Structure 1
Amino acid sequence: MATPVLDKVEADSAASPYITATFRIRRFNPEVSDAAVWEDFTVEIDPKERVLDALHKIKWELDGTLTFRRSCAHGICGSDAMRINGRNRLACKTLIKDLSPEKPITVEPIKGLTVLKDLIVDMEPFFQAYRDVMPFLVTEGNEPTRERLQSAEDRERFDDTTKCILCAACTSSCPVFWNDGQYFGPAAIVNAHRFIFDSRDEAGEQRLEILNDKDGVWRCRTTFNCTDACPRGIEVTKAIAEVKKALITRRY
């Protein structure tokens, strides 16, 4: 009995790992129009690839004017945070197969910051808030002749908030930040927490007073959007609550 043989086209199709996916991208070019528009791009791509790979394919093969930030492409630099299917994510960590690719995948800039072009926003207000909370170790006295020792228990106290990569996913997911750009935002508070609870630091009181401002930690409404958005799994809402408690008790 003869063995059935698939038609070559059918065989190639069955063996192909690629799917056809549509990416609906929010485009904005201030040199062309004051209004943003949605534009669809259809690409053949392996669903196990990432949204960043799809954006590269679109830029390199379909429309070289598409503009977005990216650097390391491994979830470390935090530069490619964007809203994908309505949620803040890193494009380099988001697999296409996890996004229901049978439907259009929406990609737009993060909210609460001025859009400069396409998926790029002005990050300066975000980084200014970060700088304002003094995100560095402050000590007094003479420079030590050896490293400043710290117990494992003391290090564990702020271990979670050392993971921040300044992607702005948490801050730009916060409804308070959307409505009032003066709010420090979750990322700045997380980075203040990292030093407030560091046993080697001596500027905890200064940082607490900075965050005691009307635009500081008390603006948080505990919606947990920030915790849900963090690509590093930081318990952002918990860190904010600990800073609030430290302000009330002055114990940290």
Structure 2
Amino acid sequence: MKQVFIKDGKTSEVKKIEVNEEELDNYTTILELLLKIREEREPSLVLRYSCRMALCGSCGMIINGRPRLACLTKVKDLGDKIMIEPLRNLPSIRGLVPDLKPFFAKYRSVTPFLVADDEQESPTAPYSQTDEQVKRYLQFNYCIQCGLCYSACPIVATNPKFPGPAAINVAYRYAADSRDRNKQRILKLDTPDGVWSCRIAGSCSMVCPKGVDPSLSIQLVKSSLLKR
């Protein structure tokens, strides 16, 4: 028998639900379990999800104390007691749904898109890149904006002005792109509350479901600023 504890982020109420293990198999995910609970036991359960394939990042939540994607976390890999909470470091809308507005506001603040020059805006031929130029930023391009790194970051928890790992990561991703012409993006992070707030805890990289390693991109931003 599995004991599932679900915490409502708005009211802090914790509901305990017992689930017979015979109803589960080796492939049942936490997302599937939650949907089953909502359909059969708790119709008031509120959660956010979409693709069910670890591509959209919508189903991020705290599962047994660790930020994870519910669609990627199998029930069999957890113990008999499963604690599920909304993401930390964010306000709660209701149930397991966090309010991601602060996260995306910081993400947008670093201009997370290519800033082209006039020649690129009116191209006369393909704007090509070498394999080496692509490799400089490719790993950091896999971020799906799920917010797990933001939830795991101890600096975000203590400094509301800190942009967070995802924002700094995407800033480096575009700064490292040979097609980009924005010279101010990285310089805006050169503040005590910016990239220098990071103390290299590494928790952001540990919870990233796509292997982006935002801790590395943060250190690369620091290195870039020091070289300048």
Task: Name the TM-score, length of structure 2 as normaliser.
Answer: 0.94
Per-residue Cα deviation, 1:193-238 (whole angstroms, up to 9, x for no partner) = 11010011111x2111221133211111100100001000112111
Greater Rg, structure 1 or structure 2? 1
- Indicate conservation of the 8 Å contact 2:9/2:86, yes or no: no
Task: Determine helix, strand or coil for the equivalent of 2:84.
Answer: strand
AA aligned opposite 1:144: P
- Indicate conservation of the 8 Å contact 1:112/1:179, yes or no: no
- The 5 Å alignment of 1:158-169 reads 158-169=137-148
| Unaligned segments of structure 1, at least 5 residues | 1-19, 30-34
Alignment of 1:231 with 2:198, yes or no, is: no
Shift of 1:41: 1.2
Alignment of 1:26 with 2:26, yes or no, is: no
Q: Which one of 25, 29, 39 corresponds to residue 46 of structure 1? A: 25
Q: Which one of 205, 222, 228 corresponds to residue 244 of structure 1? A: 222
Q: Give the CA RMSD over aligned residues.
A: 1.2
AA aligned opposite 1:119: L
Aligned-pair identity (%): 38
Q: Which range is displaced more, 174-183 or 51-60?
A: 174-183
Distance across 1 between alignment mates of 2:124 and 2:40: 56
Per-residue Cα deviation, 1:170-213 (whole angstroms, up to 9, x for no partner) = 1110011012222100000111111010011111x211122113
Distance across 1 between alignment mates of 2:170 and 2:160: 18
Higher RCO (CA < 8 A, seq sep 6+): 2
- Indicate conservation of the 8 Å contact 1:112/1:181, yes or no: no
Tell me the matched-pair count.
Answer: 223
Q: Which range is displaced more, 208-217 or 176-185?
A: 208-217
- The 5 Å alignment of 1:149-188 reads 149-188=128-167
Task: Name the TM-score, length of structure 1 as normaliser.
Answer: 0.85
| Unaligned segments of structure 2, at least 5 residues | none
Shift of 1:21: 1.8
- Indicate conservation of the 8 Å contact 2:6/2:15, yes or no: yes
1:114 equivalent in structure 2? 91
Distance across 2 between alignment mates of 1:55 and 1:118: 12
AA aligned opposite 2:81: P
Distance across 1 between alignment mates of 2:9 and 2:172: 36
Alignment of 1:133 with 2:94, yes or no, is: no
AA aligned opposite 1:239: S
- Indicate conservation of the 8 Å contact 2:6/2:16, yes or no: yes
